Structure 1
Amino acid sequence: MEIIIKLSQFLLSLSLLIILHELGHFIPAKLFKTRVEKFYLFFDVKYSLLKKKIGETEYGIGWLPLGGYVKISGMIDESMDKEQMALPPKPWEFRSKPAWQRLIIMLGGVTVNFILAFIIYIGMAFAYGDTYIAMDDLKDGIWVTNPAVEKAGIKTGDKILAIDGVKVGKFDNSINLEVAMAKEILIERNGIKQTIKTPIDFIDQLSKHEKGLLITQRIPFVVNTLTEDSPNTNLKAKDIFVSLNGEKVKYFDQVEGISNKNKGKEIPAVILRNLKEMKITIKVSKTGIIGVRPALLDNNSLEKLGYYKVSTQNYSFFESIPVGIEKGKDQLISYGKQLKMMINPSTGAYKGVGGFAAIYNIFPDTWSWEVFWGITALLSIMLGVMNLLPIPALDGGHVMFLLYEIVSGKKPSDKFLENAQMVGFVLLITLLVFANGNDIYKAIVGR
C-alpha cells in the first residue's frame, strides 16, 4: 500500500507538470495559428496507450513516462521530421511565423512552470500558513543526524544563529537545505559563538551517508515497538525514558552514549508511562543495544509534552500573495545555487545528481497534500530552470537561436538547426544515463 501511495503521488505530480508545461507551448501556438500535430503525455515510441484526434491535433498518452511533448508543424524538434522540413514552408508552420511569435511559443512552457510554482506557494501560504519552532526556543540546541555535519564541526547541542551571514530565526523544513548549501554557519556552543566553515565538497560528503535529515530538533526517547530479539519485554509502546543508570535522559540522542558505557549490563531506568513515573531495570546487549524502536514525534506532540512551543502564522488571501512569491523566489535562487555547485567538479555535488528514482524517493509513503504540493512546486521550478539551459533540444536551446536571429536579423539554416538538435539530443541522453545511473549505483551500494 505504501508503494502505491508513493507511486501515485509521483505519477500525479509528473503528469500535472508535463501537461501544464506542454500547454504552455500549445496555447500560444494555437493563438498564433500554428498547427500542432500531437499533444502527448509521456512518449509514444512505436505505439501509444491512448490516442484520439480532435481537429488537427492528436492527443494521447504514451507508454514511456520520461516526459511529454507537443509536435508543432514546421519545427525542428525531437521528432527530426526531415521530410516535412524539405518541403516549402506553409503559412501554418512554426518556421513561417515571425521570430517574436516563435520566441513566445518556445518560452511558454517554462513560463507556465514558474507561474505554477508561485501559484502553489501562494495557495500553500493561504491554506496552511507557516508552522515553525523559533530558534530561541531550541534552548538545548539541535540534534545532528548526519555524520558529515558533525565532521564539519557542528555538534548535537549547538545552536545555529546564522547561515552565510543571514540570521536564522525559525527552525522549519527549509533549514536542512540551507545547511547543506552553506559555506559558513555561525553557531553557539556552551555560550561561545564560533563560525564553522564547511568543506568545499560538503554536498558530496553528505550524500555518502544514509538519506534523511541532516539536523533536527532534539526529541525525547519514546518507545514505539520492541525489536524481535529485545530482552526488555517490560517496556511498552509510548513509554518515555526519564533517566537511565541514574543519568537524566531528556533527549533521544543521550541514550546511545549511556548504553554504550554499559554494554552487557542490567541498569536501572525511570520511565514515564500514562503520565506516571515508574522504576524498571533495562538490559543492555553486549553491543550497546536495548532493543527498542523509537517513535518519531511530530511538533504538536512535542509541544504537548512541553518540549517546544510550535508557532503557526496564518495569512489572509492577500497576505499570502507576497509570502508565496517570496517563497518561490527563495526556492528559485536556491536551485540556481545548486546547479552552480553541480557544474563545479571540486564540490562533488554532481555525484548526488539523481534521475527518476531520486524524484520518486522524495515523495513520502503516506499521503499528505501539503507535502505533495510543496514537492510539486519545487519540481516545477526545477523543470523550468532545466528547460531554460542553453542546450539544443531543450527550450533554452531554441530560445538561444531565436535571440540570435532577432539580434542579428539572420536565421540559422535548417541544416545547422538539425545538427544542433542532434548534438543536444546526445547531450540529454548522456545526462539522462548519468543521472539514472547514479540512482542505480546508489541502490547497489546502499546509499
Structure 2
Amino acid sequence: MEILIKASQFILSLSLLIVLHELGHFIPAKLFKTRVEKFYLFFDYKFSIFKKKIGETVYGIGWIPLGGYVKISGMIDESMDTEQMALPPQPWEFRSKPAWQRLIIMLGGVFVNFVLGILIYICLMWGYGERFLPNESVNAKDGVWIQDSLAMNLGLQTGDKILTIDGEKIKKFRELSLGFVNGNSYQIERNGEVLDKEIPINFISELVERGKDAGAFLYPRIPFLIAEVSKDSPNLTSDLKPKDIVIGINGNEIKYFDEAKVELDKNKNKDITLTVKRGSETKEIAVKVTDEGKLGVGLGELPYKDLEKLGYYNLADIKYSFTEAIPAGSNKAWKTLTDYVKQLKKIFNPSTGAYKGLGGFKAIMDIFPTSWSWEAFWNITAFLSIMLGFMNLLPIPALDGGHVVFTLWEMITGKKPGDKFLEYAQVAGFIFLIALLLFANGNDVYRWLAK
C-alpha cells in the first residue's frame, strides 16, 4: 500500500507538471496562429493509450512515461519529422514565424513552471504557514548533538553552535544538512570560541555512500527519554518505565542524552542511581550499568512540540495573510531555485562525488511520503516544477534552452542556423539526454541492488 501511495503521488505530480509545461508552449503557439499537430502526455512511440483529434490537434496519452510534448508544425523537435522540413515553409508553421514569436513559444513552458512553483509556494504559505525549529533556538541552548561519523568528519562536535554556512545564517535547523551539501565553508562557536572550517570536498560522496536509510547526521540535543526496557536488560525488574526522562545520575544533573552517555561510560559494570522525571513526579531508581556502559533500554524520541513544552527549544510558528504570503512564497521559490543550482554545480564537479547521488524516476518517487499528505504533495510538486523549469532552460539541444539559444543567435546576428545543423544538434542533444537518463536511473538500480 505504501508503494502505491508514493507512486500515485508521483504520477499525479508528474502528469500535472508535464501537461502545464506543454500548455505553456501550446497557448502562445495558438495565439501566434501556429499549427499544433499533437499534444501528448508521455511519449507515444508506435501506439497511444488514448488519442482524440479535436480541430487540427491530436490530444493523447502515450505509453512511455518519460515526459510529454507538443508537436508544432515546422519545428525540429523530438519527432524528427525531416519530411515536413524538406517542404517549402507554410505560413502556419513555426519556422515561418518571426524570431520573437518563436522565442516566446519556446519560453512558454519554463515560464509556466516557474510561475506554477511560485504560486504553489504562495498558497502553501497562506494555507499552512510555517512551523519549524529555528537554528537560533538550538544555538541559544547548547548546540548540536553529534553521534555520526559523517558529521565528525566534517569537524563537528557535540555542543557546537553552527553560526553560518558560506557566510550565510541558516534560519531553519532542518536546512543545515542541505547547507552543508551546497556549501564550501562554515563557522561555529565552540566553548565560546568562534572557528572557521572548510567542508571536505568529498563530503557529498561520503553522504551518498552512507545511504538515505542511515537517517540524518545532525540533531539538536535531546533528553534521555526511555522508550522501553529490553527483555534482556539487567534492569528489567527495576522501576524504570517507558516515557521516563533521566534527569540525573548519581546526583549529577543530566539534561541531554549525550551527557548521560558520558556518565554511563564512567560507571561501566556498576550500580548507580538514576533520577527520572515521570509526569509531574521525580523518582530515584537503582539500576545496573552493563560492561558496555548501557542500561538495556531503548532511546525514545519526542516531537519538537513536546521538546518545546519541556522547555528545551522554542519553535517558530508563523501564519501569513494572503498579502504576506506573496513575498514569503516568492522567497521560498527563489531559495529553492538557488539551492538547486548550487547542487548542480556540485554534480558537475567530479571531485565532489555528487554525481553518485544523481537519481532517476525512483529517486524522485522516493521523495514523496508513504502516507497521503496534500501539504507534502504540493511542496514537492512546487520543487519539481522549479527544477523542471531550470533544467529545460539549460542550453542543451533537444531542450527548450537549446532552441532558445539558437533563436537568440538568430536575433543577434540576423543569421538563422540551417535546418541540417538543427537536425544534427537535436540528435546530439537527444543522445546526451538519453545517456543522462540511463545514468541517473542506473544509479537507482545500483543503490537498490546494493541494499
Q: Whole-Å Cα distance in 2 between the matches of residues 401 and 94 of structure 1?
A: 14
* 1:214 aligned onto 2:220: no
* Mapping 1:191-202, distance limit 5 Å: 191-202=192-203
Is the contact between residue 223 and residue 246 of structure 2 (CA under 8 Å) also seen in structure 1? Answer: yes
Is the contact between residue 267 and residue 293 of structure 2 (CA under 8 Å) also seen in structure 1? Answer: no
Deviation at 1:424, TM superposition (A): 0.5
TM (norm. structure 2) is 0.89
Q: Whole-Å Cα distance in 2 between the matches of residues 435 and 247 of structure 1?
A: 53
Q: Return closer, same or farther for 1:258/1:359 CA change in 2, 3 Å cut-off.
A: farther
* Mapping 1:242-321, distance limit 5 Å: 242-243=247-248, 248-254=253-259, 269-278=274-283, 279=285, 281=287, 284=290, 290=296, 292=298, 294-321=299-326
What amino acid is aligned across from residue 407 of structure 1 in structure 2? I
Is the contact between residue 265 and residue 293 of structure 2 (CA under 8 Å) also seen in structure 1? Answer: yes
Is the contact between residue 242 and residue 270 of structure 1 (CA under 8 Å) also seen in structure 2? Answer: yes
* Mapping 1:36-435, distance limit 5 Å: 36-138=36-138, 139-144=141-146, 146-168=148-170, 170-211=171-212, 212-224=215-227, 237-243=242-248, 248-254=253-259, 269-278=274-283, 279=285, 281=287, 284=290, 290=296, 292=298, 294-435=299-440
Name the SS for the 1:213 alignment partner.
Answer: coil
Structure 2 gaps, min length 5: none
What amino acid is aligned across from residue 29 of structure 2 in structure 1? A
Q: Whole-Å Cα distance in 2 between the matches of residues 362 and 336 of structure 1?
A: 19
Deviation at 1:48, TM superposition (A): 2.6
Q: Return closer, same or farther for 1:246/1:180 CA change in 2, 3 Å cut-off.
A: farther
Deviation at 1:251, TM superposition (A): 2.9
Of residues 375-384 and 142-151 in structure 1, the stretch that sits farther from structure 2 once superposed is 142-151
Is the contact between residue 133 and residue 174 of structure 2 (CA under 8 Å) also seen in structure 1? Answer: no
Q: Whole-Å Cα distance in 2 between the matches of residues 209 and 255 of structure 1?
A: 27
Q: Return closer, same or farther for 1:413/1:149 CA change in 2, 3 Å cut-off.
A: same
Is the contact between residue 282 and residue 290 of structure 1 (CA under 8 Å) also seen in structure 2? Answer: no
Deviation at 1:324, TM superposition (A): 1.7
Is the contact between residue 271 and residue 280 of structure 1 (CA under 8 Å) also seen in structure 2? Answer: no
Name the SS for the 1:24 alignment partner.
Answer: helix
Of residues 141-150 and 247-256 in structure 1, the stretch that sits farther from structure 2 once superposed is 247-256
Q: Return closer, same or farther for 1:372/1:444 CA change in 2, 3 Å cut-off.
A: same
- Percent identity for Structure 1 against Structure 2: 58
- 1:126-153 deviation digits (Å, cap 9, x = unpaired): 2222323344432110123642222121
Is the contact between residue 143 and residue 157 of structure 1 (CA under 8 Å) also seen in structure 2? Answer: yes
What amino acid is aligned across from residue 426 of structure 1 in structure 2? I
Give RMSD over aligned pairs. 2.7
Deviation at 1:108, TM superposition (A): 0.7
The partner residue of 1:442 within 443, 447, 451 is 447
Matched positions, count: 444
